[in-house]
Amino acid sequence: MKIQRTNSYNAYKNKNSFKGLIPLEQLKELAARKTPEAKKLLNSCVGFNAMYRGAENLNPDRITREMADKFQIYTDFANNPIVAACSALTANIFHKLGFVQPTNILVKDLRGTGYTKTLAFCTISPSNYELFRKFGEDFPIRSVIINEAKNWDNLQKNMLRDKQENYLSTGHFLAPFIHEFIHSAHLDNLMKKHGNGTKIMRKMLKDFKNEDTIALIKKETSEYGSTKPVEMVAEEMTELIVESLSPKTLMPNEMIFKMQRAKEPFQMDVLIDACWSGDVKKIEQFRKKKNKFLEFIQRLNG
């Protein structure tokens, strides 16, 4: 049993080429820019390199045992030490901030499903046809599913690109993990409040149609956040958590997290609260396309 595990671990180790390390020249270039945004990216790159080097000597099976003992999360990392390291860091962050943890973290080859291009996602209902068709089983609700077929070595490089294009709210390498963990915590909150959280969450999967709302979210958060209420919350909360991380330890500072939250523009604050608590009526006011004719009539009456 033990020999087998060592063998499979070594097989992965040989695959690790360190191509994903952010080179010194790029770190220097970020440092020279001296903007707050570049400073944040530099901190993430330095953290990523440390995590990436550490992953070489990391045994994913050990992380699995620790995650079960400490957080009661069932994990299967499919021997991927990068995913194991990032998941453990994220679980520690969530523990410190008092957020509910996901039920499972499962690394799966998603080729041939509707999730081929997805880096990771969170299951929001107890059954999912796409997953059942490929794996012949259902995964528990609030599982974070990680796409094994993606190149996780390039995680930081891809995040730098996505942030540069304002597609995502932050270029931090832990952001994809924090984002999915937030979906799970959000759903847990809805389930506690409304019973059937899935039903409410589905309503938040409808695209934003209101141009003012879309513009506000694009400015405050990211393009991806401006697609749907559920993504707005995940992107916004991810940014707030990342901003509160110590660059050295990658642990959050709860006070900074709360302070950043308090600094949100009023409209954004209202929308985040409405989404987090599942106030569908309020969300719809932000989401729906403005009815120009109705506004005209209301102005006449008002």
Tell me the one-letter amino acid at 189: N
Q: Which is nearer to Zn ion, 43 or 287 (CB)?
A: 287
Q: Which of residues 231-260 bind Zn ion (CB under 5 A)?
A: 231, 234
Total of residues contacting Zn ion (CB under 5 A): 2
Q: Which is nearer to Zn ion, 188 or 231 (CB)?
A: 231
Residue position matching structure tokens 């003012």 = 212
> Of all residues in this chain, which one has the CB nearest to Zn ion in the complex?
234
Q: Which is nearer to Zn ion, 73 or 124 (CB)?
A: 124
In whole angstroms, what is the distance from residue 221 CA to residue 203 CA? 21
Q: Which is nearer to Zn ion, 55 or 275 (CB)?
A: 275
SS3 143: strand
**Which of left, alpha, beta for 115 (phi over 0: left; psi -120 to 50: alpha)?**
alpha
**Segment lying near Zn ion (by CB under 5 A), choices 48-56, 88-96, 229-237, 256-264:** 229-237
SS3 58: coil
Q: Edge to edge, what strands does the sheet with 104-108 contain?
A: 74-76, 104-108, 143-147, 120-122
**Segment lying near Zn ion (by CB under 5 A), choices 44-52, 155-163, 193-201, 225-233:** 225-233
Nearest alpha carbon to residue 247 among 49, 97, 94, 22: 49
**Segment lying near Zn ion (by CB under 5 A), choices 14-22, 97-105, 170-178, 224-232:** 224-232
Minimum separation from the CB atom of position 274 to Zn ion (A): 18
In whole angstroms, what is the distance from residue 104 CA to residue 176 CA? 16
Element housing 282 (H / E): helix 280-287
Interface mask toward Zn ion for 254-293; x: CB under 5 A: ----------------------------------------
Nearest alpha carbon to residue 23 among 53, 43, 45: 45
Residue position matching structure tokens 């996901």 = 102
**Segment lying near Zn ion (by CB under 5 A), choices 35-43, 70-78, 227-235, 284-292:** 227-235
Q: Which is nearer to Zn ion, 220 or 231 (CB)?
A: 231
Minimum separation from the CB atom of position 34 to Zn ion (A): 32
List contacts with Zn ion (CB under 5 A).
231, 234
